[in-house]
Amino acid sequence: MAIPIIYLPLKNAKRIKIFIPYELHDMRKSFKALNSSYWHSNQKLWSIVNTSKNLALVKKTFNGKFKIENEKPFTPVKSATLTDQAADMLLDLEKTLVLKHYGQSTVNTYKKMFTVFLTKFMHQDLKQISKAQIEQFIYDLIKLNNISESYQNQLINAIKAYYEHVLGLPREYYDIQRPKKSHNIPNVLSQLEVLNILQHPKNIKHKAILWTIYSGGLRISEVINLRVSDVHSDEGYLFIKDSKGKKDHKTILSNHLVTLLRKYYTLYKPSYWLFEGQTGGKYSTTSIRSVFRKAVKETDSNPWATVHTLRHSFATHCIENNVNLRHLQNMLGHNSPKTTELYTRTIEINNKNISSPLDNLLKLN
């Protein structure tokens, strides 16, 4: 007899994953009705926010008829001390990326991933390694180490960067197989949840940071890189310098945020960066995440939310308020309108805000 499988989450996991056999229609319907339930089509699994209360609720929903298994963890990839020649290769990659003005976080990621590659192939001539060998190496990491789609893509990016930019080989030669791209809907907070989170901090700097992120739909990297001169209160916009992809763009500046920022400026008097740390310099991303997590926890908001969820929520709420998609694309700094159109899938769909054609037909009758 088929029964559901509850995968016990790993430490600090945000979701509890659950497999419900297709033939168990009633159980699946009951689980689907639970708050925060979600279907991961690429994994063929359901999930729910990881809390002890939710775990007990799931067990109750399945009437004690379930199996518990441990979620398969990511196995750390083995590393080894690089040879002098391999260390030089790593340095060559870093120099190339810096000269091409890649962001520092991207450079660090590529170096880390290319080190994984060199651990396997540093005793061979990299020019003689075939595409098939590289794909077998990645396949082994997927099967033995359970690496994620994101890890796989980052590894491929680092390998291709070396072969194409350092060795100058044609792109087609190392066109390595990538994972099928999943089209997940971004996590979004309700307007009430956002309001509670934004109003929670007592510290005016903490409040100003969260307000700025949501009101303009900023990434966390964009808010820490804001300069005092980037606030154009007379014209009503924030200037975002060197955003993702080394692009500049503008976004909306809320009137209420202007009022808050003026109070904050009077109290803290930042000199160059809009939000400075205690010892000067940019405010840290770690501190912003800590402020946000505290606000989420103490307002009993969606525990799956991250700072980036505020950006997703901004975009979704703009669409719900009928903001033009082209304007939203510019505010978010997207290259393609297709990226922005993703948020049309996040708007709340129910019979409170949309009328079914059936209802309209029956009204006419």
Residues 210, 216, 220, 225, Cα dihedral to 10°: -110
Which candidate in 17, 206, 207, 219 is catalytic?
A: 219
Contact 134, 64 (CB under 8 A): no
Residue positions counted in the chain: 365
User: b/e string for 145-154 if b means 16 or more Cβ within 10 A?
Assistant: bebeeebbeb
Contact 9, 16 (CB under 8 A): yes
Chain-centre distance of CA 181, in angstroms? Answer: 15
Active site residue 343: yes
Active site residue 334: yes
Active site residue 311: yes
Active site residue 40: no
Q: Name the token pair of 221.
A: 């990297």
Which candidate in 151, 162, 283, 343 is catalytic?
A: 343
* Cα–Cα distance for residue pair 333/339, rounded to 1 Å: 10
Question: 303: Cβ–Cβ under 8 A, 6 or more apart, which residues?
Answer: 14, 49, 50, 51, 296, 297
Question: 210: Cβ–Cβ under 8 A, 6 or more apart, which residues?
Answer: 197, 198, 201, 291, 292, 295, 310
Which candidate in 14, 165, 241, 244 is catalytic?
A: 244
Which candidate in 17, 160, 311, 312 is catalytic?
A: 311
Which candidate in 206, 207, 317, 334 is catalytic?
A: 334
Residues with a catalytic annotation lie at: 219, 244, 308, 311, 334, 343
